């Protein structure tokens, strides 16, 4: 008898704490953690690395058409190589990538390619994937959807504490207003406001909701 893999969708705005939560939920359930934002960041880094202006649409599309993405898994964490280059945290979180990623992620053709890669994780041993459109577009059929929020002040402060130069208000504006797959709260998602909760408390709330929805 085949059992369908467990798919947990965790969406939310920048620096809402969804990465930490998705990582811990995946570890607790023995499934793979995937940060879909890392894929958009990886392609953005590749665009900049190739000397292409992120607003030059024809050039970005031409690069996309000849770029190979390789998604994998290492120790329970999704990995991505773009153009044969394995991505590390340093490249993905650079100031230049922070500034260019939202315009790149708003391009429909880019989303189409990366969503196809993201869905491949759904056929393996289960996944907790975080992003902006995981519950609304990538895995709309999963019953396990979460939206992790926090006030803009708390989110700005979290990014500053990480020492990262990131205009999250601007990214949120672009991510929420784009035509294709904007950041939205899926009607059937459980919304958790993490502004005044510890990571442990958010993880506990998410795990409890998953167990409840499983009927345990």
Residues lying near ligand CDP in the complex (CB under 6 A) are found at: 14-15, 19, 36-37, 40-41, 101-102, 105, 131-134, 171, 175
Q: Which is nearer to ligand CDP, 15 or 82 (CB)?
A: 15
Q: Strand, helix or coil at 62? A: helix
Name the closest residue to ligand CDP (Cβ): 37
Question: In 10 A of CB 2, how many CB atoms?
Answer: 4
The DSSP 8-state label assigned to residue 179 in this structure reads S
The DSSP 8-state label assigned to residue 86 in this structure reads E
Selection from 114, 111, 115 nearest residue 103 by Cα:
111
Give the nearest distance from C-beta 2 to ligand CDP in angstroms.
28
Give the nearest distance from C-beta 140 to ligand CDP in angstroms.
13
Q: Which is nearer to ligand CDP, 40 or 46 (CB)?
A: 40
Q: Which is nearer to ligand CDP, 158 or 210 (CB)?
A: 158
Q: Strand, helix or coil at 209? A: helix
Do the beta carbons of residue 31 and residue 144 sit within 8 Å?
A: no
Q: Which is nearer to ligand CDP, 116 or 214 (CB)?
A: 116
Selection from 78, 156, 87, 81 nearest residue 120 by Cα:
78
Q: Which is nearer to ligand CDP, 30 or 86 (CB)?
A: 86
Give the nearest distance from C-beta 85 to ligand CDP in angstroms.
18
Give the nearest distance from C-beta 65 to ligand CDP in angstroms.
20
The DSSP 8-state label assigned to residue 199 in this structure reads H
């Amino acid at each position: 008898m085949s059992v369908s893999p467990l798919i947990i969708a965790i969406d939310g705005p920048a620096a809402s704490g969804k990465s930490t939560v998705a990582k811990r939920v995946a570890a607790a359930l023995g499934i793979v953690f995937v940060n879909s934002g890392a894929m958009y960041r990886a392609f953005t880094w590749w665009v900049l690395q190739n000397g292409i202006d992120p607003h030059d649409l024809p050039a970005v599309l031409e690069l996309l058409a000849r770029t190979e993405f390789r998604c994998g898994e290492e120790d329970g964490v999704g990995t991505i190589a773009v153009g044969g280059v394995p991505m590390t945290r340093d490249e993905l979180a650079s100031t230049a990538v922070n500034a260019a990623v939202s315009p790149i992620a708003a391009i429909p053709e880019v989303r189409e390619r990366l969503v196809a890669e993201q869905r491949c994780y759904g056929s393996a041993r289960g996944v907790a994937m975080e992003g902006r459109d995981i519950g609304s577009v990538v895995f709309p059929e999963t019953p396990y959807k979460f939206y992790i929020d926090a006030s803009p002040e708390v989110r700005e402060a979290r990014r500053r504490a990480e020492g990262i130069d990131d205009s999250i208000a601007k990214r949120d504006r672009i991510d929420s207003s784009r035509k294709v797959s904007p950041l939205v709260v899926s009607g059937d998602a459980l919304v958790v406001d993490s502004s005044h909760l510890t990571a442990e408390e958010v993880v506990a709330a998410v795990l409890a909701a998953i167990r409840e929805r499983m009927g345990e």
